[in-house]
Structure 1
Amino acid sequence: MSERYDSSEMMTVTAARALHNGQSCFVGIGLPSEAANLARLTHAPDVVLIYESGTLQTKPEVLPLSIGDGELCETALTTVSVPEMFRYWVQGGQIDVGFLGAAQVDKYANLNTTLIGDYTQPKVRLPGGGGAPEMATCTGEIFITLKHSKRTFVDAADFITTVGFGRDGTARDNVPNIGRGPTRIITDLCVMQPDTQTKELTVTSLHPGVTRAQVEEATGWAIRFAADLGETPEPDDHELEVLRDLKARTEKHHSEA
């Protein structure tokens, strides 16, 4: 990785660049919030940020600590109830892009946030699905942002909390009124996308300085690489400046609160 930026900044900038001006985006806390707001503050000023708590067209000056952060309501065009958020906005197909994370992602982009191990005697119980299953079903497309490791990228998820493309890649075939599902997985090593035919996750872009061997070592299945494998563009100075200023404002704001 370059001395100009770290792997987290590489992930954030890459995720931000995937958003387009005018899109409606369902935002999560953490890296997705960083990426969405970076996009809004740079190349996509008219991206519409929507948080799970019901805040629409949110324009926070600092990054929220949670979906209940007052900064979101204070800077939103309006706020609706959570039932309306999911019934009308999410299930009604009003959102173009949603960001998700998970404890496990398998080769067909299925997400596990329920448990690790056997269902009847799990090693670890996780928080559960929340709104992720509805998002993956009804949102136009899903971006997944995660650190890359064999612990997270597994051959088959222990439990499918949120369907990507099912156990064999066919879960979305011939299903009407359903979103495209995961279209892009952004990690600290690479960008993956589902193969157009099999839906198996395939590396389409390596981050600068990352090798195929590093990705293979960090993936729990025999990962494939696109024939036209590219290199992810590096963050530019302006993106890094805006991102770092945003994070510095956020740290200062929350330390004084």
Structure 2
Amino acid sequence: MNPLTAQPPAGTLPASGAGTAAYTSSELLAAVSCRQLRGTRRVFAGIGLPTLAVALAQKSTSPDIEQVYESGVCGAHPPKLPETIADASLATGAEAILTMPVLFGYVLQGGWIDVGFLGAAQIDRYGSLNSSVIGDWHAPDVRLPGSGGAAEVMANSAEVFVVMRRHDPSSFVLELDFCTSPSPAVARRMDPLVPAQGRGVTTVISDLGVLKADDDGELCLASVHEGVTVEQVIAATGWPLKVLPGLSVTPAPTEQELHLLRHEIDPGRVYLR
């Protein structure tokens, strides 16, 4: 059976390969995101699945990875999974706690962040993000938290990873309802004087697969998860999705990754669903 064309029953995730237990979508996203971080030194990570992925990387593939939070905490080693960027546990064992002007003016704009790790409600084909409103700005269907530091993270990180819990045409869109965080390439086209030094979004991890940016910055399909077909991903994407050569099937979470996530990192299932 070809894993690129086989389809699982609707609403389920398959049991993974030999010796590995069944897993949830959030466990898959955390494990795949963690592997993408291999070799990364400094990560500016948002709360939620990005935090979960970095915590897993610290305990497995990348023990020296340094996590930077928007609240100014650098080199965080919290004794428990933080629930907000202002969680008091972040201060415990941190390498440094900086003021906001120093964090954004020197660390981020100074080019010290290897990967900015973000989430969003919508993403377009060149990696611009919407985390502000769904629908019309003046009468939105949903009003979202807004940028926070995401626009600065997008502009100044060497590259940006995005994790999306839901891959469908309302999230992966041809045109954003509102552009909260423009990709550096788009920002420079709008204004050549915009100080956007990073590459923008290079990797997107969704519940269907992994997208990678090509040489033009367009997001293309690089791998599909077990039981997902290429046709499913194309149908769930709001732009004509290109498929990269060498398309692969994403390796399933391992028993070690699932054990760490369930029993050491997030036993209370704060972010695991």
- What TM-score do you get using the length of structure 1 for normalisation? 0.89
| Inter-partner Cα distance in structure 2 for 1:195 and 1:173 | 22
| Inter-partner Cα distance in structure 1 for 2:187 and 2:95 | 42
RMSD: 2.4
| Inter-partner Cα distance in structure 2 for 1:48 and 1:235 | 23
| Inter-partner Cα distance in structure 2 for 1:80 and 1:228 | 43
Indicate the residue corresponding to 1:255 in structure 2: none
Q: Using a 3 Å threshold, how does the CA distance of structure 1 residues 251 and 6 change in structure 2: closer, same or farther?
A: closer
Asked whether 1:163 is paired with 2:182, we answer: yes
Identity between Structure 1 and Structure 2 (%): 40
Indicate the residue corresponding to 2:6 in structure 1: none
Match of 2:156 among 138, 156, 163: 138
More displaced 10-residue stretch of structure 1: 169-178 or 158-167? 169-178
SS at match of 1:75: coil
| Inter-partner Cα distance in structure 2 for 1:13 and 1:122 | 34
Indicate the residue corresponding to 1:184 in structure 2: 203
Alpha-carbon distance, 1:239 to partner? 1.3
Indicate the residue corresponding to 2:249 in structure 1: 231
Asked whether 1:40 is paired with 2:52, we answer: no
CA contact (8 A) 2:55 2:265 kept: no
Alignment gaps of 5+ in structure 2: 1-12, 16-20
CA contact (8 A) 1:63 1:246 kept: no
Alpha-carbon distance, 1:42 to partner? 0.6
**Structure 2 residue identity aligned to 1:194:** A
**Structure 1 residue identity aligned to 2:130:** N
SS at match of 2:113: coil
- What TM-score do you get using the length of structure 2 for normalisation? 0.84
Alignment gaps of 5+ in structure 1: 253-257
| Inter-partner Cα distance in structure 1 for 2:137 and 2:171 | 18
CA contact (8 A) 2:71 2:86 kept: yes
Q: How do 1:43-192 and structure 2 match up within 5 A?
A: 43-147=61-165, 148-164=167-183, 178-192=197-211
Asked whether 1:29 is paired with 2:47, we answer: yes
| Inter-partner Cα distance in structure 1 for 2:100 and 2:193 | 30
Q: Using a 3 Å threshold, how does the CA distance of structure 1 residues 248 and 132 change in structure 2: closer, same or farther?
A: closer
Aligned pairs, number? 251
CA contact (8 A) 2:40 2:114 kept: no
CA contact (8 A) 2:261 2:267 kept: no
| Inter-partner Cα distance in structure 1 for 2:195 and 2:86 | 34
Q: Using a 3 Å threshold, how does the CA distance of structure 1 residues 163 and 248 change in structure 2: closer, same or farther?
A: closer
Q: Using a 3 Å threshold, how does the CA distance of structure 1 residues 234 and 171 change in structure 2: closer, same or farther?
A: farther
Q: Using a 3 Å threshold, how does the CA distance of structure 1 residues 182 and 211 change in structure 2: closer, same or farther?
A: same
Asked whether 1:204 is paired with 2:214, we answer: no
Alpha-carbon distance, 1:81 to partner? 1.3
| Inter-partner Cα distance in structure 1 for 2:239 and 2:264 | 37
Alpha-carbon distance, 1:34 to partner? 0.5
Alpha-carbon distance, 1:75 to partner? 2.4
